[in-house]
Amino acid sequence: MLHYLTINTTVEITCLLAAFFCLKKDASLVWRSMILFLFITCVAEMTGIYVKRLYLADRVHIHPNAWVYNILLFFQAGFFSLMFLYLLKKFTNSKPIIIIGLALLTGLHIYKIFVNGIYIYDDLTNTLMSVLLIFYSFYFYYSLINDETYISLKNSPAFWWVSGVLFFYFGSTVCNIFYEKFAPLVINPKQGFNYFKYLFYAFNILLYSCWTYSLICRKWLTKR
C-alpha cells in the first residue's frame, strides 16, 4: 500500500480530508462539490498508479494509464468551470465566457479521444484548459482589485483558491511549453535525474496547500 502514498497523493488526500471537515456543512453547494471532485481526483490518482504498475509488469497485455487521466480531464473541466462561474458572478456575468470555454474543452477532448484513442493522453485539451484557467484567474484578480468592497485577502477563501489554481497551471504550462529548451538544463540522463519531476511536485504542493488554507478560511468565515 505504501507505493500508493506518493507526494502527490499525500497532499491530495490531506486536502480531501480538509475539504470534508470544512465543507460538509457549508451552505454553498458549489463549495461542497469540491469534496466530490477531490475524492474523484484521489481515486483517479490511485487507479493511475495501479494501472501503471500493471503496465510496467506486462507491457503486452496491459494498456498505459493515460485513459484514467483522460477521463479525469472531463471532471476537471466541469469542476473548474463551475467554481469560476460561482466566484466571478459576484463581479460580472461570466456565464457566456465560461460556458463557451467549457464547450470548447469538451468538444476538443471528445474529438481528440475519437481521433487518437483514449489510451493517448490529450495534451492539447489540457493545455487549452490551463490557458483558460490562467485567464479566469487573472480576470478574478482584476475584478477583485476594481471592486469597492473591502476584503481581507489573508482570510479570503476565494483569493487563496484562485491563487492555488494560478500557481499550478501557470507554472506547469510554462514548463510544458518550454520543455525542449529547459530539458538540457534540468535533465541529466547519465545520472537519471529529472528536475522537472520535482518542479511538478512543488506546483502540486502549492496548489493543494493554497486550497487547504482556503478551506480553513471558508470554515472560519462560515462560523463567523
Nearest to 208 by CA among 66, 41, 67: 41
pLDDT digits (tens, 9 = 90+) for 163-207: 999 999 998 888 877 766 665 555 555 544 456 777 888 999 999
Closest Cα partner for 134 from 92, 80, 87, 180?
A: 80
Q: Measured between alpha carbons, how far is 198 from 169 in angstroms, rounded to an integer?
A: 15
Alpha helices by DSSP H, 58-190: 66-88, 95-116, 123-146, 157-177, 179-186
Distance CA 144, CA 150 (A): 9
Contacts of 3 (CB under 8 A, 6+ apart): 49, 53
The C-alpha angle with vertex 97 and arms to 94 and 99, in degrees rounded to 5, equals: 100
Most confidently predicted of 142-151, 202-211, 212-221 = 202-211
Residue 52's pLDDT band (cuts 50, 70, 90) = confident
Residue 23 has pLDDT above 50, yes or no: yes
The confidence score (pLDDT) of residue 191 equals 47
Q: How many structural domains are present in the chain?
A: 1
The secondary structure of residue 2, as a DSSP letter, is G
Determine the distance from the C-alpha atom of residue 140 to the mean position of all C-alpha atoms in its chain, rounded to a whole number. 17
Task: Provide the 3-class DSSP secondary structure of residue 90.
Answer: coil
**What is the pLDDT averaged over residues 136-152?**
88
User: How confident is the model at residue 185, as a pLDDT?
Assistant: 54
Handedness of CA 63, 66, 68, 74 (dihedral sign): negative
Taking the model in full, what pTM does it have? 0.90
Site of grid cell 463551475: 82
Check residue 62 and give its pLDDT: 56
Give the range of the structural domain holding residue 87, as residue numbers without chain letter: 2-223
**pLDDT tens-digit series, residues 32-42:** 999 999 999 99
What is the secondary structure of 140-176 as a DSSP string? HHHHHHH--S---GGG-HHHHHHHHHHHHHHHHHHHH
Percentage of the chain lying above the pLDDT 90 cut? 59
Which single residue is written with the C-alpha cell 519531476? 197
Work out the mean pLDDT of the chain and round it to a whole number.
Answer: 87
1 contacts 30 by C-beta, under 8 angstroms: no
Sequence-distant (≥ 6) Cβ neighbours of residue 63 within 8 angstroms? 51, 55, 119
pLDDT at 148 over 90: no
Instruction: Provide the pLDDT confidence category of residue 63 given band limits of 50, 70 and 90.
Output: low
Indicate if the pLDDT at residue 82 is higher than 50: yes
